[in-house]
Structure 1
Amino acid sequence: MAPILDIKNLKKNYGSTEILKDINVSIEPGDFLVLVGPSGCGKSTLLNCIAGLEPITGGSISIAGQDMTEVSPKDRNIAMVFQSYALYPTMSVAKNITFGMKVRGVDQATQDKKLQEVAAQLQIEQLLNRRPGQLSGGQRQRVAMGRALVRDPALFLFDEPLSNLDAKLRVEMRTEIKKLHQNLNASMVYVTHDQIEAMTLATKIVVMKGGVIQQIGSPAEIYNRPANLFVADFMGSPAMNLIPAKTRANGGATEIVIDRPAAEPLVLKDTQNANLPADVILGLRPEDIAEAGYRSGDNVQTADCMVEMVEPAGADTYVVSHLGGKQVTARLHAETTATPGAALPMAFDLSKVSYFAPETGARLN
């Protein structure tokens, strides 16, 4: 089966400025692809290139097995949901949803049928006679999604559709979009700078920086095996702890030596990773640093750490220490007795460790 979207060697320049650099990515039918990265990384530009709203400088874009590189946006069989909703203020919700079908000459009976199906899916049946000015932000976003859904396109494109909503509504709408994807088995490309949205929605994530793809993978691959320091730091909340360290061989183990303020260096023994360079950046997620006694295994090392800060967060408590010249966050259980200024025995799960090269940022293990 041909990919529903296939982008090869795509380049986008504005004058002499390179915005997108040799982009290669493809998704299968039914995939939910999320483009994620900081502001200015090129993710929205890439989405606009897929939609045909931006001409590309080089490369090709195929949708459903057909080359769409030079095809007009209206002929690409896509539907787009914008950050700004882009609704007609003088039209009712029903007319906003059906307007595109009317322009394309779809008969009235089909328009009515599609409208009722989509309104039921999005739970907006009671809003069909209202105008956009009478709706909340979440309701407007549902209408914008409804307008896309009635098209039944080969590909849905979402450009940061939840960024104008408050935190609670974002979570609700994220769930709605996830349900839509599961129910429709639709192919979707979604742009966001919010890595939590990326992790919860995607079947495949593309992490971008400076117009370059840093890593492509499933949410689990991106989270557990980040390809470089940028991905490790960007994906995850709180972010992965990235601790400068030195290594030395000791029998069948590698000793990881980490400086500590006003104390002897912390020495951890890693029994699973050998042949590491002398200088590394050690990466551990906050949940892989636990209070001693709450984590066990062949490659779990325990050491006392001085607690600098304690941050209760409901079901979890975040405890901050200082190692290798960096603040290090551990995600502990809510009932921890950790106290600022006191030492706490901590268990480091080195079976989950990532190592990176300090010079290049590339993953080493």
Structure 2
Amino acid sequence: MAPILDIKNLTKNYGSVEILKDINVAIDQGDFLVLVGPSGCGKSTLLNCIAGLEPISGGSLHIGGQDMTDVSPKDRDIAMVFQSYALYPTMSVAKNITFGMKVRGVDAATQASKLATVAKQLQIEKLLDRRPGQLSGGQRQRVAMGRALVRDPKLFLFDEPLSNLDAKLRVEMRTEIKELHQRLGASMVYVTHDQIEAMTLATKIVVMKGGVIQQVGTPSEIYNRPANLFVADFMGNPAMNLIPAKARSDAAGTRIEIARRDSAPIVLTDSQNRNLPEDVVLGVRPEDIAEPGARAAANAQEADCLVDIVEPAGADTYVVMQLGGKHVTARLHAETDATPGKAQRLAFDLGKVSYFAPDTGQRLN
């Protein structure tokens, strides 16, 4: 079966400036693709190219097996939800939702039926007679989603739809969008700069930087096996610890030496990863540095670390140290007895570490 969305060698230029460079990505029916990256990385431009709001400069773009490269937005069978909601202020909620159907000549009975279904799905039945100005941000977002849902398109496109909402409402709406996706089995492309949003919603993530795709993968692949230093640093909160280290291989395995302030280096033995260059960047997630015995880790290696800062965070306590000249964060349990200025015995799970080349930033293992 052909992918529902298939982008090949897509480029986008504004004059002599190349905004998108050789973009290749495909998703199947029912996938939830999230485009994530820092501001200015090209993710919204790519979404606009999919929507047909921006012409592409090179490559091809297929939706539902049909070439859409030169097809106008209204004929692409897509529905878009914008950050700004883009509702008509003088129309009621009901008319905002059904307006597109009315323009396309859909009969009144079908309009009423689809409106009732979508209003129930989004729990906005009581809002149908109100105007957008009488709604909260979350309610407006639901109306914008309702207007997209009645289209029943091949592809839903979301452009940072939750960025105008407060933190608590964002989490609630995120859950609703995920639930909606699971219930409808719809194909969705979603732009965000929030990597937590990306991890929780996506079946597939595209991480972008400077108009270039850095990595495509499932949330698990992106989180556990980042392709380079940028992805490792960008995805995850707190971010992956990236520690300059020395690697020295012998018959027993690879000795990883990490400099410490005022004492001899920490030496960890990695029996799995051989043939590493001498200079590496060791990537380890905060949850993979724990108190000995706190988590069952077959490849745990222990070392004493001088604690600088202790940050209680409810269910977890974050402990910050200096290793390899960098601030390194460990995620410990809430009842830890770690104390600033004192040494703490910690276990590093070497079964989950990543190694990167300091010069190119590319993954080595």
Alpha-carbon distance between aligned partners in 2 of 1:301 and 1:7, rounded to the nearest angstrom: 44
Query: Secondary structure in 1 aligned to 2:171?
Result: helix
1:310 matched to 2:310? The reply is yes
Which residue in 2 is equivalent to 1:208? 208
1:188 matched to 2:188? The reply is yes
Displacement of 1:252 after TM fit? 2.1
Displacement of 1:120 after TM fit? 0.1
Aligned residue-pair number: 365
Alpha-carbon distance between aligned partners in 1 of 2:105 and 2:222, rounded to the nearest angstrom: 44
Which residue in 1 is equivalent to 2:41? 41
% identity of equivalent residues: 81
Which residue in 1 is equivalent to 2:265? 265
Which residue in 1 is equivalent to 2:233? 233
Displacement of 1:11 after TM fit? 0.3
CA contact (8 A) 1:155 1:188 kept: yes
Deviations 1:61-117 (A, max 9, x none): 100000000000000000000000000000000000000000000000000000000
Deviations 1:16-67 (A, max 9, x none): 0000000000000000000000000000000000000001100111000000
Which residue in 2 is equivalent to 1:168? 168
Which residue in 2 is equivalent to 1:51? 51
Query: Secondary structure in 2 aligned to 1:307?
Result: strand
Which residue in 2 is equivalent to 1:326? 326
Mapping of 1:68-217 within 5 angstroms? Answer: 68-217=68-217
Query: Secondary structure in 1 aligned to 2:118?
Result: helix
Q: 1:270 to 1:106 in 2, by over 3 A?
A: same
Displacement of 1:296 after TM fit? 4.5
Alpha-carbon distance between aligned partners in 2 of 1:34 and 1:172, rounded to the nearest angstrom: 18
Which residue in 2 is equivalent to 1:343? 343
Query: Secondary structure in 2 aligned to 1:163?
Result: coil
Alignment TM-score, normalising by the size of structure 1: 0.99
Alpha-carbon distance between aligned partners in 1 of 2:86 and 2:316, rounded to the nearest angstrom: 40
Alpha-carbon distance between aligned partners in 2 of 1:264 and 1:252, rounded to the nearest angstrom: 21
Divergent runs of 4+, >4 A = none
CA contact (8 A) 1:272 1:299 kept: no
CA contact (8 A) 1:20 1:46 kept: yes
2:122 maps to amino acid:
L
Mapping of 1:344-363 within 5 angstroms? Answer: 344-363=344-363
Deviations 1:207-237 (A, max 9, x none): 0000000000000000000000000000000
Alpha-carbon distance between aligned partners in 1 of 2:137 and 2:67, rounded to the nearest angstrom: 36
262-271 or 43-52, which deviates more: 262-271
CA contact (8 A) 1:31 1:186 kept: yes
Alpha-carbon distance between aligned partners in 1 of 2:273 and 2:40, rounded to the nearest angstrom: 36
2:343 maps to amino acid:
A
Alpha-carbon distance between aligned partners in 1 of 2:293 and 2:71, rounded to the nearest angstrom: 61
Unpaired stretches in structure 1, ≥5 consecutive residues: none
- What is the aligned-residue RMSD (CA, Å)? 0.6
1:232 maps to amino acid:
A
Alpha-carbon distance between aligned partners in 2 of 1:132 and 1:299, rounded to the nearest angstrom: 56
Alpha-carbon distance between aligned partners in 1 of 2:249 and 2:352, rounded to the nearest angstrom: 20
Alpha-carbon distance between aligned partners in 2 of 1:298 and 1:39, rounded to the nearest angstrom: 40
1:325 maps to amino acid:
G
CA contact (8 A) 1:295 1:347 kept: no
Displacement of 1:262 after TM fit? 1.1
2:47 maps to amino acid:
L
1:221 maps to amino acid:
E
Which residue in 1 is equivalent to 2:64? 64
Which residue in 1 is equivalent to 2:32? 32
Alpha-carbon distance between aligned partners in 2 of 1:260 and 1:40, rounded to the nearest angstrom: 37
CA contact (8 A) 1:280 1:356 kept: yes
CA contact (8 A) 1:6 1:26 kept: yes
Displacement of 1:204 after TM fit? 0.2
Displacement of 1:337 after TM fit? 0.4
Unpaired stretches in structure 2, ≥5 consecutive residues: none
Query: Secondary structure in 1 aligned to 2:53?
Result: coil
Alpha-carbon distance between aligned partners in 1 of 2:353 and 2:70, rounded to the nearest angstrom: 46
Alpha-carbon distance between aligned partners in 2 of 1:355 and 1:5, rounded to the nearest angstrom: 33
CA contact (8 A) 1:295 1:349 kept: no
Query: Secondary structure in 2 aligned to 1:48?
Result: helix
Alignment TM-score, normalising by the size of structure 2: 0.99
